[in-house]
Amino acid sequence: MILTRRVSGSILRWLPNELLSEIISFSSPAAKLSLCRVSKLFHELAAISLYRVVMLQSYKQLHQFWESLSENSTRARSVRIFTVTDTIGDLATNEYAERLDYNIFSTMDRLEILEFEVSPFDTRYMEILRHCTFPRLSDFKYIAPISTRPIIESFLGRHHNISRLIIGGLDTPATTPARFAPLSKLRYYVGPTSFMDFFPSGINQILLLWTLDQPDIDGAFVKLAPLTEHGTQLTFSSLYIRDPAGAIFTALAQYLPHTECIQLRSVENKTRRLEPEYIDAVVKSLGRFTALRYLALEFLALLDPVRDPMDAAAEEYTVDKQTVEKWGRSCPSLRECCFHGSAWRLLAGQWTPIAESDLRELGYRKY
């Protein structure tokens, strides 16, 4: 009560609740818990702030969250961000995972970000996607069972405000196309090619995940081609298992010649250098790009460390320099390159290696 008396004689008592809520939102969780004990007003404001971001990673967290909503279901309306990370299936083995009530989730009408990264064997969260609609949802991430694809499609069909979408992983198959209208506000996408029917003309960042049994590469890019006809500044990335003879890059040059940034990475068991045939295929295709300024081509293991280009063997360094110069001549707009774990930048007409500390400035390895 001491704090309450002090507040009564200060400017805080004249501040509107909206401004107080904004101030409280910058406090630590411990501070918010303390405010809950100060007065009824601060309890209400701090509780709302505490429930804005809900991130569940353990059985204990799920239990506490569900118990609190059972006591007061109106708290669900305060949630803006809700994420569940349970890739090893820990939550799925507990009784509270069975008790997830989609009726409570349906009251989260102010939810903006929803993320599920769960065990491939856990389909419980599907009931939420099957029955709930979140009018303000803008970000959606779902990495989970393959068999849930029709439910995800239906969920996307009800949420036209989504601007950032992440679906599945490398094991997500590209089978039948989606049968819903495009997401008109979608700007960022990570996922398989089979969800491209949701792409609007304004999308500007795409990361496609290709499987071992790759679908028709040209067919996928034919769908993407109209995206750059409306002046879209496109950043294209691709994570794949196998790309014979640079087929992805060749199709990209043919159908999306106005792309500004390209990042292609092959998931391998070990590090290996670009093959001469692949380098030549890149040279032949680079001339088609009209505005390409950043190119990253990597054949790296997922845990392979980034290296400084000056640490490479002298012979490899010479070959890499010749390669990047050849690419630069083929594509006059090119300004930055990353390959073989090294980065290069065009400075005063010369391709210059960049130290590891500068790689982050290029957005290197940001998938």
pLDDT of residue 302: 44
Nearest to 225 by CA among 203, 194, 192, 243: 203
Residue 328 has a pLDDT of 93
Residues of the chain with pLDDT under 50: 1-5, 7-11, 15-16, 170-172, 174, 301-306, 360, 362-367
Which structure tokens are listed for 87?
């890739």
On whether the CB atoms of residues 339 and 297 are closer than 8 A, the answer is yes
Asked, for residue 61, whether it belongs to a domain, the answer is no
Give the pLDDT confidence score for residue 301 in this predicted structure: 46
Would residue 362 count as lying in a domain? yes
Tell me whether residue 59 is in a domain: no
Q: Which of 174, 190, 106 is nearest to 142 (CA)?
A: 190
pLDDT of residue 135: 93
Q: Which domain range does residue 12 map to?
A: 1-50
Per DSSP, 306 falls in state P
Residue where one domain finishes, among candidates 50, 72, 88: 50
pLDDT for 219? 82
Give the whole-angstrom CA distance, residue 35 versus residue 27: 10
**Count of domains forming the chain:** 2
In a domain, 131, yes or no: no
Q: Is residue 109 part of a domain?
A: no
Residue 198 lies in a domain: no
Query: At which of 50, 68, 90 does a domain end?
Result: 50
Distances (CA, A) of 76 to 63, 188, 230, 276, 314: 15, 27, 41, 57, 61
Is residue 117 one of the residues assigned to a domain? no
**Assigned domain for 43 exists:** yes
**343/366 Cα distance (integer angstroms):** 14
- Which of 11, 28, 50 is where one domain is finished? 50
What own/partner pairs with CB < 8 Å and gap ≥ 24 does 350-354 have?
Answer: 351/321, 351/324, 351/325, 353/309, 353/310, 353/317, 353/321, 354/309
- Alpha carbons 236 and 260: distance in angstroms, whole number: 8
Residue among 170, 124, 180 nearest 150 (CA): 180
Structure confidence at residue 325 (pLDDT) = 92
Give Cβ neighbours of residue 322 (< 8 Å, ≥ 6 apart): none
